[in-house]
Amino acid sequence: GGKQSTITAFFGQF
């Protein structure tokens, strides 16, 4: 099913 990515890989820290 592929490798699980994370939200932080897409959205930058404020």
Tell me the residue type at 5.
S
Nearest distance from C-beta of residue 6 to another protein, angstroms: 4
Structure tokens at 3: 């490798």
| Rounded-to-integer distance, Cα 3 and Cα 14, Å | 26
Nearest distance from C-beta of residue 9 to another protein, angstroms: 7
Between residue 1 and residue 14, which ones bind another protein under the rule CB under 8 A? Answer: 1-14
Nearest distance from C-beta of residue 4 to another protein, angstroms: 5
Binding site for another protein (CB under 8 A): 1-14
